């Protein structure tokens, strides 16, 4: 399978609603590697790396599902070179 890596920024009501924890759960369910963290400006930032179709499903999850109580207004996606250096999916405090 073709591999893909994306860097994403999620805007909306995404802090204080378990968005990071739910993102980690969804990424692990899809077998993705990467990380997720809150930003001081109220956004959530994440990197997803894995099979192309699974990364696409994760982007869809960020845009259309999210955590209960969240509201996603915008998702910015930046393609990056796949490195394969990540060994897990981590929630960064």
Catalytic residue among 38, 43, 54, 71: 38
d(CA 31, CA 74): 24
Length of the chain: 93
Contact of 58 with 27, CB cutoff 8 Å: yes
Query: How far from 73 is each of 15, 27, 81, CA to CA, in Å?
Result: 13, 20, 26
Contact of 66 with 5, CB cutoff 8 Å: no
Annotated active-site residue 40? The verdict is: no
Annotated active-site residue 52? The verdict is: no
Catalytic residue among 5, 20, 43, 54: 20
Catalytic positions, please? 20, 38
């Amino acid at each position: 399978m073709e591999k893909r890596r994306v860097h994403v920024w999620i805007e909306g009501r995404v802090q204080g609603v378990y968005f990071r924890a739910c993102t980690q759960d969804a990424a692990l369910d899809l077998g993705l590697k990467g990380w997720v963290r809150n930003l001081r400006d109220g956004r959530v930032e994440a990197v997803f790396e894995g099979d192309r179709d699974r990364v696409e499903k994760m982007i869809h999850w960020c845009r259309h599902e999210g955590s209960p109580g969240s509201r996603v207004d915008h998702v910015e996606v930046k393609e990056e070179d796949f490195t394969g250096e990540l060994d897990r999916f981590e929630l960064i405090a």
